[in-house]
Each structure stands twice: as C-alpha cells, then as structure tokens.
C-alpha cells in the first residue's frame, strides 16, 4: 500500500504541475526493472523519479513507454504483469469529454527478439456506449496478472506500451483532462509455469493470438485483441465490492470538489472569456430572412474535405442561384462562388465526400471552419447565404452504428421522393437537408435528431406542403377581331392574379391579393432548422401549463429522470456506495445545522 | 455560501481533496488479493495531461469581449468621415498551450433592422492592415471584398501576444457621394432634401480569431480549418 | 437551456452527484484537435441626412441668398449663379464669409452647423450670411428686357482629414453631389 501512495500523490500532483513547453509530438520514456540476486524487483531510478513525469499531450500526439525487464537473479524467473488504466481522460471530473478514440498497443519482446502483441487496437474508445470509458476499454483483459515469459539468469525482455490520442476525434472537450495508466510486475521463482506459448502467424506474418488449445483469440468487444487465457488467477474473490464502489464514488466526488476549487480560482479569469463567448454568440445575426436583391456583390462558400477524405462536385446537392459556379480544387475543397445574398446551397457530404480507403472514420457532417468550442451541433447542410463562409467536413470514429432513414412525403403520407438510408452512431445527432421538389415546400430545410439504438425510431420525415401556384391572367384583345363573348360574372378584370391549384381544376378559382388573406392562410416559409428531439420528447412531467411554476416542475422532473436513468444501470454495490455517500452528506448537513443552532443558542445566552 | 466557496477555492482544500480522491479511487480499483505471486514491483504509472487552449482579441491594448469599436467615439460624438481613428488590433494567447492563430475580418453594411445590405461597398470601410508579409500572411484564396483572412506566421506562445494586424479605421468620405434629392419651392423658399445611399446604414467590422494547438498543427489546421499549410520549424506558410 | 437555470439552485451536492455520473454518460459530440475561437464585432450607423433650406430675395437687380441647415449634421454650402451672355453677375457678401473658389462657385467659408434642439424644445438653426448676386444689365438694355439667372446651391456633409480636422470647404470632395438650383429672372 505504501508504494501505491506514491502514485496517489503523483495523480494528485498532475493538475498542479506547471506544463513543460514540450514541442515533441511523439514522447518516449524508458525504464529498467531487474529481478535482483536478493529476490527484489528493483528499478534503475527511484519510484518518485520514474513516476514524476506528467506527459503533456495534445490530440494527435502519442507516447511510448518502454520497460526493460532483466533477470539478475541466479535462478530462472517467471515474469507477470498487469496493465490498468486508473483514469481515462473522459473520467476527469467536470469534463464533458467523450467520443474520442485512442490507439493502444502493449507488446512484449522476448530475449530472442520476437515481439508479441498483448493488445492492440487503433479504435479504443470512440463513440460507443461501452461501460468501460475511453482508454479503459483497452485494458479490460490486462488488469489481472498475466504471464509474460520465463527469463533465465541474465536474460532480458522488453515491454512497450504505446498510447496515441486520435486527433480527429479528440477535440476541445478534452482540454484540462488527465489520464493515469499503471503497470505492475511480479516475479515467481517457485512455481513452475506449465503453460505453453504458441506463436502463430497468419499468411502476412502478422502474429495471431491463440489460446492454449491453439484456437485464435477473437477480437473482443472493444475492438482490440487480448490473450485472456494467460491471466493468472492470483487470489480469492473478495467481498469488498460495496466498499470499493463507495470509495470510488467518494473519490469522484472529492476529485470533483478539487476541480471545482481550481475552477473557482480560475473563475475570475474565465469570466471575461465566458462573457466574450456569450457576446460572440449573441452577435450571430438573425439573418434568415431574405434581404433586398444585391446589385453585384456575390459571396463564396467553401467546403473543405479536411484531413480524412476527398470532395467532388456532387457534394452540392442543390444550388438555388443559377449564376453561381461550383469548382473543386485538388479534391480538397469545393468552392461555390457567385452566390447572391439570401440564396440557398444544399450540401450532401454523404454523396460528395469520399473517405480514404480503409478509413476508420465516417462522415459526420460539417461545421464552420475553426468553430468548435461553442458548436453544440453540426452546421445545417442547407445553407442560406449571408456572407463568405468556410466549412470543414467533420469526421467521427464509428462506434455502435445504426441506420437512419430520411423520407420525403406530403401531408397525406405519399412519397414524393425516394427515401434515403444513412448510418451513424447511436447518440449522434445528424442534421439532414431537404430535397428540392418543384412546387412543394418542406416544414424545414434542415432536420436534426439524436440517433437511438432502435433504427425504426431514427426517421427524419420531411413533410411537404404544396406551394400555391400564382397565375397572372391578362386579357389581350387582338385588334380587328371582336373579343370572345364572355359570360357575365366570369369576366376577370385585366391583370388579376389568381391562385390555381395544379391538380384540382374543378376547384373554384380564387382571386389573390388582399382577399387571399381572408380566404386562406398563406403558406409560411419553411424553418431553417428543426430539432425533432424537441418535438417528440416533451420534458418529463411537463403538463403543458404555461405558468413558470409548472414549467420549473417539469424541468426538475426531467433532471431527476436524467439522473435516475444512469443510476438504474449502476451495479448494486455502486448504488450502495452512492447511498452511503448521500447518507454521509445528509449526516454532515444535519451536523452543520445542529452546530449552527448550538452556536446561535450560545450567542443568545450571551 | 461565500465561506463554502472560499473553502473550496483554497489550494489546501484542493490538494487535500485530490490526494484523498486519488486514494479512494485507487482503493476502488483494487480488484483482488495477490496471494500466489511472490515478488511484486512498484507501480509504474504514466500520467497524461491535456491542457487548455485559449485566444483573446486585443483592441487598443485591452481584451475585447464580443463588442468591437466600443470606444471609437466618445459619447455624443459624431463619426467623422475621412478621419483615421485609432483601431489597433492584435491577438493574445490566453491559453496554457502554445498555438497558431489566424484572423478573419469581415466588413459589411447593415440596415436599421440589422439585415445585411450587400449592395453597399465594404471597401469604403477602411481598416488599415499592418505588418502584412512580415508577421501576418494574407490568405489570397479566402480574400473577398468583404472578407480578409490573415494567418500569423509564427507560433504564438502561451501568455504572449502578436504584433498588430490593424492600426486605423477610416470610413471613406465618398460614402457621401451617392445622393438623391427632393426640392420643394414655395414663394421665395426652396427646401432641398438630400438623400444618401449610405444614410442610416451601419458599418460593421467583425473580427474572428481562430487558434489551434501547437502539436501536429499542420494536421490540426487541415482538419479543423480545412486549410493546407506548411509548418517548418515553427514558421507557418500557406500552401 | 432551461436546465442550466436550475443548477445553481440545486446546490453542490446535486452537481457533485451529477459529475460522478458522468462515468455512465453515453456517446457525445467529439471534434477534431484543440481549437478555439473568439469573435467580436461592432460598428456605427452613418447619419448623412441633411436638409438645407434656401431663401432667395430679389430686389434692385440683386439676389440675396441665405442657406439654413435644418438637418442635424454640419454641412458645407456653395452656390453659383448662371446667366446668359447678355448679363454679367457680381458676387459679394457683407461679412466676407462667402469666398470665391477656383471653379466659379462661392463657398461659405465655414461648416454650417446642424440644427440643435434646446431644452425648451425650440430648435435653433444655423444660417449662412447673405450672398449677394448683382445682375448687371448691358448698357444697351431696354426697359422690359429680361435676363434669366439660374442659381445653383449645393450642400454636402462636412469632410475631415485623417487627423479629424474639418477640411476647408473648397478642399472638400464635391465631385458627385447633385446640383440643385432655381431659375429666376431679373427685369430691367
């Protein structure tokens, strides 16, 4: 336990340490561990030195930790190790980080130089709903001691652990996060390990992990592979689980408290920033309406493919401005120029952006170039032009994929355009654009919705309404010929504008103009964006009441619901732990109240 | 509540909380007893930390919070056409990590309702850009009458600032040129009412500063901004 | 959005509990690399409206011209009269504030301030001094001969140099403003 304390202090110290101005994008660390003649596992440096390093990384960086294992003992020794992620970046209290991916590789090189991969995956984490968050998914099979090798006196083996942070998926949410990995080694000279290790390679020479029977080890649910069969059963199952859970939760609470403390201190500094962000947001003009026609000035929209794909002209699904031009530069950027203010461009990145071959990414949508911090969703694929704007395609790493369907129907449910099926991750919120259909308008140009595991619920319905057709009827009398006799009453005054429903000639013709407002409601223009989640999921407990109290109740209920759902999925010991903490908090609260009363009484007496 | 906040914000509490938190978290991570193996090593820990990025726009030496040109005119002062007002703009790295930055400047006119008037010329809003070529690179691909994009060609260290990218703002006197007119004569009086196309229009300058991380900046800029750049020894060039 | 409002009220305990539960949160949004941005914008409305009123009086073969500025912005004023070849025109001003430019125009030598509303609601309007345009008939003119004289007035908003000093009226850019004038004759 004493040794573990060192790690604690380090973990505690990580946020306090001043960052080093490291420029390197690949970091490395090397240590030596030997099993000494006096039966001790010793290091070449003190534990404090070894663990002192806090690696300042940024998305896209990677770190390789090398541990040289040496047997300096007179007898042969069986080496074992564990590898555990104590905390993944996503678990930093107060951080909203999620969805980022990692590359994780743990390998052992034996004295003969043969390298065996104990675990490898380039898509650890990512967007999935696994119970093991982020990096923790990598070590699910490595947390109990697993046998490495038997080293004869004087022999060396090498453990390398490489962790890379995926740049494409680890964004701003990962700022101010920290992770802690741990490896432990054990040596046994007394027990004879009877296990045989079979190295099997496939036709490409890539090692395949096999179990004792020689069967290949399947890739586990987290996308990596690990040799679970080699885990050594080292001890009995204990019954400390509830306490452990309680300790875990308490630890998190305290960690949160600590972060809160740091935040409080930083608040003054950050207030300025927050204000500027709020102001910046408020400056996003409500320029959705169409302004007067521009004389000459035209705008340019550019959609960049970004680092993971190439773009072609099919990315422009619709261009309402006939004078605009589309050009593609080196497959990297689509430039739409000559656009007039208020015109519309619809991009379809699923069609017009090709991923690199074998890419682990998928096309998620696109966003305004450089914007990230405040973007809680992607840009609308249907863009109304109000300035020169650049966009960049956003990519994600596939997690729990689910299909979603986009339909284009009229109010009667008749299909106006073939449905399209796309794929996204559960929890994603894709935004889809409408299809232009002559004579019809949708309820919104863009629809957004959060994907759920049940594909049948992931339907984006564009519902179209027919646009009333405006027909100008002018009576022209040809000179020299008598005008056709017209029945009284059927005569229309010159220049009258009428509305004529296209497929219903029997319908009475109604004059347009001021009268139309009395007879029928003119069709409102479509919304620019509509969030289907908000339409379909009213706040829990909301009873439709208009007054503030009822509204607040609805919000409270919804918050409780939000908390209750994850609570329900927690294992029982964890629930017990949480209950224990809550009880402790309640106790502390009561104690404080009693103390305050006593104090009050004392003061009264005085 | 204030006392509680103070207590929470004190470094001692923070450190103590961290230590206890880490202890409890570690305790909670113990999976099982270690009975069978004989000799155990120390813990080999690796701590990975990700820091904060931040950027601030600086106007006439002071950080700007959303609103630009606030101090351009004194209260009640009328804007003088043709006058070069001091408008010194640069960028400050308010984050913990070093970064590369760019600035997008948009100039345009809006009507009383805030709706853009594309027919009025952005060129008459004269923001004088400085240090071009030496410190700030103009992205010609991105440049339009309304927009100018400048890339700072060096790494901007944490808590330091760039040289100015703009120093003066002038609204061109020729906005008073385009006129229409109505006259009314009665007796010996003639009243002439002159109307100007720019009358009542509001000029707008928008400056957006983007920052991106130092590590892997070339890829990060490609991925986040879309733009291909080359970074060689801390010097940024536009491809 | 609404949920944010309630958080402070819920207190630290609830917030802490919520933070603990982050562990079980599902997939969220992820964006590439560490980026940040800030933006600021601002501007001012341009007030160019000006309304000038011209009073012309004619007597003794002389036009007396006074221009007043009813608008709120200061303006420059210049004037010029045109006549046929048979009549000559002579300009003068009693206080010397109308000065001849090189282009035939007479410039009121200082900016004419905008109208100012007083506290009692009265509006005080700045006026130029009188510009006198004397029509000189030829010596052989006979009783009843007419001479058409067109007076053109122009006003433009005051312009400034880069230091913010008002330009001299003659130095201002008068290139585009529409001419406005009146036609009045004189008879002998």
pLDDT 10s digits, B138-159: 999 999 999 999 999 999 999 9
Strands A459-466, A401-410: pairing kind = parallel
Judged against a pLDDT cut of 50, whether residue A16 lies above it is answered with no
The full set of domain ranges for chain A reads: 2-235, 297-397, 398-467+523-552
- Residue A464 pLDDT class (50, 70, 90 cuts): very high
* Euclidean distance between CA atoms C47 and A5, whole angstroms: 71
Q: Do A555 and C5 touch (CB under 8 A)?
A: yes
Nearest by Cα to C63 from C175, C171, C157, C150: C150
Q: What is the pLDDT of residues A393-444, one digit of tens each?
A: 988 877 777 888 999 999 999 999 999 888 877 777 788 888 888 888 899 8
- pLDDT > 70: what percent of chain B? 79
Interface of A with B in 115-154 (CB under 8 A): 143-145
Measure B147 CA to nearest chain C CA, in Å. 13
> Rounded mean pLDDT of chain A?
68
Q: What is the DSSP letter of A210?
A: B
* Closest by Cβ to A12, choosing from B13, B15, B43: B15
- Residue B11 pLDDT class (50, 70, 90 cuts): low
* Euclidean distance between CA atoms A67 and A81, whole angstroms: 11
Please give the residue of chain A at the shortest CA–CA distance from C26: A129
Judged against a pLDDT cut of 50, whether residue A237 lies above it is answered with no
Q: In this complex, is the C-beta atom of A580 within 8 Å of any C-beta atom belonging to chain B? A: no
Positive or negative, the Cα torsion across B23, A572, A93, C23? positive
In sequence order, which ranges of A195-303 are alpha helices (DSSP H)? 241-282
Q: What is the pLDDT of residues C47-100, one digit of tens each?
A: 877 777 888 888 888 888 898 888 888 888 998 888 877 788 889 988 989 999
* Euclidean distance between CA atoms C182 and C152, whole angstroms: 7
Beta strands of A136-199 (E only): which ranges?
146-151, 156-165, 177-188
Residue A170 corresponds to which tokens in the numbers above?
Answer: 């680890």
- Residue C135 pLDDT class (50, 70, 90 cuts): confident
* Euclidean distance between CA atoms A15 and A37, whole angstroms: 39
| Contact yes or no for A157/A149 (Cβ under 8 A) | yes
> Who has greater pLDDT, A11 or A89?
A89
Residue in B21, B72, B77, B78 to test binding to C, most C beta-carbons within 10 Å: B78
* Euclidean distance between CA atoms A101 and A324, whole angstroms: 39
Positive or negative, the Cα torsion across A329, A332, A338, A343? positive
The pLDDT of residue B192 is 67
Interface of B with C in 135-194 (CB under 8 A): 168, 170-171, 173-181, 183, 185, 188-194
Q: In this complex, is the C-beta atom of A355 within 8 Å of any C-beta atom belonging to chain B? A: no
Contacts 24+ apart (CB under 8 A), A358-361: A359/A308, A359/A309, A360/A101, A360/A122, A360/A123, A360/A397, A360/A398, A361/A168, A361/A308, A361/A309, A361/A395, A361/A396, A361/A397, A361/A398
| Contact yes or no for C157/C74 (Cβ under 8 A) | yes
* Closest by Cβ to B188, choosing from C56, C153, C155: C56
* Closest by Cβ to C162, choosing from B83, B180, B213: B83
Interface of A with C in 536-565 (CB under 8 A): 539, 551-552, 555-556, 558-559, 563
- pLDDT > 90: what percent of chain A? 11
- Write out the H or E segment, with its range, that includes residue A460: strand A459-466
Please give the residue of chain C at the shortest CA–CA distance from A176: C34
Residue C66 corresponds to which tokens in the numbers above?
Answer: 């006074």
CB neighbours of A7 closer than 8 A, spacing ≥ 6? A51, A86, A180, A182, B22, B26, B43, B45
Q: What is the pLDDT of residues A485-524, one digit of tens each?
A: 444 444 444 443 333 444 444 444 443 333 334 444 567 8
* Euclidean distance between CA atoms B186 and A15, whole angstroms: 81
Q: Do A186 and B94 touch (CB under 8 A)?
A: no
* Euclidean distance between CA atoms A44 and A64, whole angstroms: 18
| A534-552 core/surface letters (b: 16 or more CB in 10 A; e: else) | eeeeebeeeeeeeeeeeee
- Residue B92 pLDDT class (50, 70, 90 cuts): very high
Strand order, beta sheet including C106-108: C98-100, C106-108, C75-83, C146-157, C180-187
- Residue C108 pLDDT class (50, 70, 90 cuts): very high
Please state, as a whole number, how many other Cβ atoms lie within 10 Å of the Cβ of residue C151: 22
* Euclidean distance between CA atoms A589 and C14, whole angstroms: 14
Nearest by Cα to B50 from A27, A394, A124: A27
The pLDDT of residue A172 is 78
Neighbours of chain C (3+ CB pairs under 8 A): A, B
CB pairs under 8 A between A and B: 375
In sequence order, which ranges of A93-183 are alpha helices (DSSP H)? none
The pLDDT of residue A346 is 92
> Rounded mean pLDDT of chain C?
74
* Euclidean distance between CA atoms A225 and A228, whole angstroms: 9
Least confident span in A277-281, B32-36, B179-183, C95-99 = A277-281
Find where tokens 């962000």 sit.
A277
Q: How far is Cα of residue C37 from the mean position of the Cα atoms in its chain?
A: 39
Q: What is the pLDDT of residues A318-362, one digit of tens each?
A: 888 888 999 999 999 999 999 999 899 999 988 899 998 888 888
Strand partners, A329: A333
Phi, psi at A230, each rounded to 5°: -95, 0
Q: Do C19 and A252 touch (CB under 8 A)?
A: yes
Gap between the terminal Cα atoms of chain B: 55
Judged against a pLDDT cut of 60, whether residue A380 lies above it is answered with yes
| Contact yes or no for B115/A291 (Cβ under 8 A) | yes
Please state, as a whole number, how many other Cβ atoms lie within 10 Å of the Cβ of residue B229: 20
Q: Do B200 and C47 touch (CB under 8 A)?
A: yes
The pLDDT of residue A421 is 87
Judged against a pLDDT cut of 80, whether residue C165 lies above it is answered with yes
Q: Do C164 and B83 touch (CB under 8 A)?
A: yes
Dihedral through CA C157, CA C160, CA C164, CA C166, nearest 10? -80
Measure B191 CA to nearest chain A CA, in Å. 30
Interface pTM, i.e. ipTM: 0.75
- Chain C: residues touching A (Cβ < 8 Å): 2-3, 5-6, 10, 12-41
Q: In this complex, is the C-beta atom of A158 within 8 Å of any C-beta atom belonging to chain B? A: no
Q: In this complex, is the C-beta atom of B57 within 8 Å of any C-beta atom belonging to chain C? A: yes
> Who has greater pLDDT, A283 or A384?
A384
**A398-467+523-552 fold:** Ubiquitin-like (UB roll) (3.10.20)
Judged against a pLDDT cut of 80, whether residue A484 lies above it is answered with no
Phi, psi at A585, each rounded to 5°: -65, -45
| Contact yes or no for C149/C89 (Cβ under 8 A) | yes
Least confident span in A51-60, A264-273, A329-338, A413-422 = A264-273
Positive or negative, the Cα torsion across A222, A223, A224, A225? positive
Range of A5-14, A219-228, C149-158 with top mean pLDDT: C149-158
Measure B188 CA to nearest chain A CA, in Å. 40
Overall size of chain B counted in residues? 239
* Euclidean distance between CA atoms B123 and C130, whole angstroms: 40
- pLDDT > 90: what percent of chain C? 12
Range of A37-51, A574-588, B110-124, B172-186 with top mean pLDDT: B110-124
Tell me the chain C residues in contact with residue B213 when contact means C-beta distances shorter than 8 Å.
33-35
Measure A318 CA to nearest chain B CA, in Å. 22
The pLDDT of residue B63 is 94
- pLDDT > 70: what percent of chain A? 54
* Euclidean distance between CA atoms B154 and B98, whole angstroms: 11
Q: In this complex, is the C-beta atom of C50 within 8 Å of any C-beta atom belonging to chain B? A: yes
Measure A164 CA to nearest chain C CA, in Å. 13
Interface of C with B in 28-47 (CB under 8 A): 31-47
Judged against a pLDDT cut of 90, whether residue B14 lies above it is answered with no
C-alpha distances (whole Å) from B108 to each of A293, A340, A404 are 15, 14, 41
SS (H, E, C) chain C: CHHHHHHHHHHHHHHHHHHHHHHHCCCCCCCCCCEEEEEEEECCECCCCEEEEEEEEEECCEEEEEEEECCCCCEEEEEEEEECCCCEEEEECCCCCEEECCCCCEEECCCECCCEECCCCCEECEECCCEEEEEECCCCCCCCCEEEEEEEEEEEECCECCCCCECCHHHCCCCCCCCEEEEEEEEC
Please state, as a whole number, how many other Cβ atoms lie within 10 Å of the Cβ of residue A392: 27
> Rounded mean pLDDT of chain B?
84
- Residue A589 pLDDT class (50, 70, 90 cuts): low
Find where tokens 């291909």 sit.
B228
Please give the residue of chain A at the shortest CA–CA distance from C33: A171
- Write out the H or E segment, with its range, that includes residue B152: strand B147-152
Q: Do C32 and B224 touch (CB under 8 A)?
A: yes
Judged against a pLDDT cut of 70, whether residue A235 lies above it is answered with no
Ordered DSSP codes for A387-436: S-EEEEEEEEE--SEEEEEEEEEETT--EEEEEEEEEEETT---EEE---
* Euclidean distance between CA atoms A537 and A548, whole angstroms: 20
Judged against a pLDDT cut of 90, whether residue B106 lies above it is answered with yes
Q: In this complex, is the C-beta atom of A283 within 8 Å of any C-beta atom belonging to chain B? A: yes
The pLDDT of residue A157 is 93
| Contact yes or no for C179/C152 (Cβ under 8 A) | yes
Tell me the chain A residues in contact with residue C37 when contact means C-beta distances shorter than 8 Å.
370-373
The pLDDT of residue A510 is 40
List domains and CATH numbers for chain C: 52-187 (2.60.40.10)
Nearest by Cα to B103 from B78, B80, B137, B134: B137
Tell me the chain A residues in contact with residue B139 when contact means C-beta distances shorter than 8 Å.
none
Range of A64-78, A277-291, A359-373 with top mean pLDDT: A64-78
Q: In this complex, is the C-beta atom of C161 within 8 Å of any C-beta atom belonging to chain B? A: yes
Positive or negative, the Cα torsion across C109, C114, C119, C121? positive
């Amino acid at each position: 336990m004493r040794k573990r304390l060192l790690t604690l202090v380090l973990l505690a110290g990580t946020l306090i340490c001043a960052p080093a101005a490291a420029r390197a994008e690949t970091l490395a660390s090397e240590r030596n561990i030997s099993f000494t003649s006096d039966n001790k596992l010793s290091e070449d440096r003190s534990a404090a030195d070894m663990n002192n390093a806090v690696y300042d990384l940024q998305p896209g960086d990677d770190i390789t930790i090398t541990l040289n294992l040496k047997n300096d003992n007179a007898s042969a020794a069986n080496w074992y190790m564990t590898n555990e992620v104590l905390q993944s970046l996503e678990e930093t209290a107060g951080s909203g980080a999620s969805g980022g991916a990692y590359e994780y590789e743990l390998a052992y090189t034996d004295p003969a130089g043969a390298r065996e991969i104990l675990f490898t995956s380039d898509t650890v984490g990512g967007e999935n709903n696994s119970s093991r968050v982020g990096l923790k998914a990598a070590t699910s099979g490595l947390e109990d001691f697993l046998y490495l090798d038997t080293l004869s006196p004087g022999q060396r083996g090498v453990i390398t652990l490489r962790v890379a942070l995926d740049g494409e998926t680890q964004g701003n949410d990962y700022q101010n996060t920290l992770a802690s990995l741990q490896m432990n080694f054990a040596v046994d000279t007394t027990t004879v390990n009877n296990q045989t290790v079979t190295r099997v390679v496939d036709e490409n020479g890539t090692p395949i992990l096999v179990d004792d029977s020689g069967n290949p080890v399947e890739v586990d649910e987290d996308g990596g592979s690990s040799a679970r069969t080699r885990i050594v059963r080292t001890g009995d199952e204990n019954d400390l689980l509830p306490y452990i859970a309680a300790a875990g939760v308490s630890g998190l609470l305290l960690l949160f408290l600590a972060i809160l403390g740091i935040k409080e201190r930083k608040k003054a500094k950050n207030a300025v920033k927050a204000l500027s962000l709020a102001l910046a947001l408020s400056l996003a003009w409500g320029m959705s309406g169409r302004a007067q026609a521009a004389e000459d000035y035209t705008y340019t929209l550019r959609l960049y493919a970004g680092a993971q794909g190439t773009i072609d002209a099919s990315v422009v699904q619709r261009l309402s401005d006939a004078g605009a031009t589309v050009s593609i530069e080196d497959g990297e950027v689509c430039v739409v120029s000559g656009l007039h203010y208020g015109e519309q461009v619809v991009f379809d990145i699923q069609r017009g952006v090709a991923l690199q071959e074998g890419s682990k990414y998928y096309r998620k949508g696109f966003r305004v170039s450089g914007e990230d911090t405040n973007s809680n969703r992607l840009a609308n694929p249907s863009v109304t032009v109000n300035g020169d704007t650049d966009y960049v395609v956003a990519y994600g790493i596939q997690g729990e994929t689910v299909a979603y369907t986009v339909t284009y129907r009229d109010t009667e449910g008749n299909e106006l355009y073939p449905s399209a099926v796309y794929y996204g991750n559960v929890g994603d919120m894709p935004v889809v654009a409408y299809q232009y259909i002559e004579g019809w308008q949708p309820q919104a140009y863009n629809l957004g919705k959060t994907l759920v595991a049940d594909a049948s619920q992931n339907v984006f319905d564009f519902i179209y309404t027919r646009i009333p057709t405006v027909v100008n009827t002018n009576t022209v009398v040809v000179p020299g010929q008598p005008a056709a006799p017209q029945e009284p009453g059927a005569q229309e005054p010159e220049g009258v504008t009428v509305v004529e429903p296209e497929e219903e000639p029997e319908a009475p013709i109604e004059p347009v103009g001021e009268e139309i407002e009395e007879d029928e409601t003119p069709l409102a223009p479509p919304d620019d964006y509509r969030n289907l989640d908000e339409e379909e999921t009213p706040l829990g407990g909301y009873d439709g009441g208009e007054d503030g109290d009822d509204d607040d109740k609805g919000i409270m209920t919804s918050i409780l619901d939000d908390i209750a759902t994850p609570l329900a999925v927690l294992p029982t010991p964890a629930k017990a732990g949480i209950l224990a903490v809550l009880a402790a908090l309640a106790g502390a609260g009561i104690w404080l109240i009693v103390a305050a009363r006593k104090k009050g009484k004392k003061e009264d007496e005085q | 509540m204030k006392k509680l906040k103070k207590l929470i914000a004190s470094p001692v509490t923070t450190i103590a909380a961290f230590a206890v938190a880490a202890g409890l978290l570690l305790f909670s991570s113990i999976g099982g007893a270690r009975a069978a193996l004989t000799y155990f090593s120390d813990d080999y820990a690796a701590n990975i930390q990700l820091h904060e990025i931040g950027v601030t726009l600086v106007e006439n030496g002071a950080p700007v919070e959303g609103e630009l040109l606030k101090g351009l005119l004194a209260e009640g002062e009328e804007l003088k056409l043709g006058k070069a007002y001091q408008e010194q703009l640069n960028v400050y790295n308010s984050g913990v990590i070093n970064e590369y930055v760019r600035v997008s400047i948009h100039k345009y006119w809006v009507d009383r309702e805030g709706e853009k008037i594309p027919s009025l010329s952005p060129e008459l809003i004269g923001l004088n850009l400085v240090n071009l070529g030496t410190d700030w690179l103009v992205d010609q691909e991105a440049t339009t009458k309304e927009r100018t994009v400048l890339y700072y060609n060096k790494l901007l260290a944490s808590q330091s600032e760039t040289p100015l990218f703009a120093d003066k703002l002038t609204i061109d006197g020729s906005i008073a040129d385009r006129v229409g007119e109505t006259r009314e004569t009665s007796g010996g009086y003639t009243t002439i009412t002159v109307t100007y196309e720019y009358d009542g229009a509001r000029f707008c300058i928008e400056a957006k500063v983007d920052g991106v991380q130092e590590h892997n900046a070339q890829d990060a800029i490609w991925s986040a901004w879309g733009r291909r750049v080359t970074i060689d020894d801390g010097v940024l060039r536009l491809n | 959005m609404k949920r944010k409002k309630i958080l402070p009220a819920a207190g630290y305990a609830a917030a802490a509990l919520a933070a603990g539960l982050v562990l079980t949160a599902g997939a969220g949004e992820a964006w590439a690399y560490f980026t940040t941005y800030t933006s600021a914008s601002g501007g001012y409305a341009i007030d160019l409206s000006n309304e000038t009123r011209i009073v012309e009086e004619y007597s003794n073969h002389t036009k007396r011209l006074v221009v007043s500025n009813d608008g709120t912005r200061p303006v420059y004023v210049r004037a010029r009269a045109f006549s046929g070849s048979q009549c000559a025109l002579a300009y003068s001003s009693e206080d010397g504030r109308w000065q001849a430019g090189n282009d035939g125009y007479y410039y009121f030598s200082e900016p004419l301030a905008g109208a100012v509303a007083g506290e009692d609601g009265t509006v005080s309007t700045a006026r130029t001094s009188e510009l006198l345009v004397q029509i000189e008939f030829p010596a052989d003119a006979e009783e009843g001969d007419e001479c058409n004289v067109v007076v053109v007035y122009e006003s433009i908003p005051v312009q400034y140099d880069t230091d913010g000093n008002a330009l001299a009226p003659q130095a201002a850019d008068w290139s585009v403003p529409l001419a406005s004038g009146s036609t009045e004759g004189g008879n002998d």
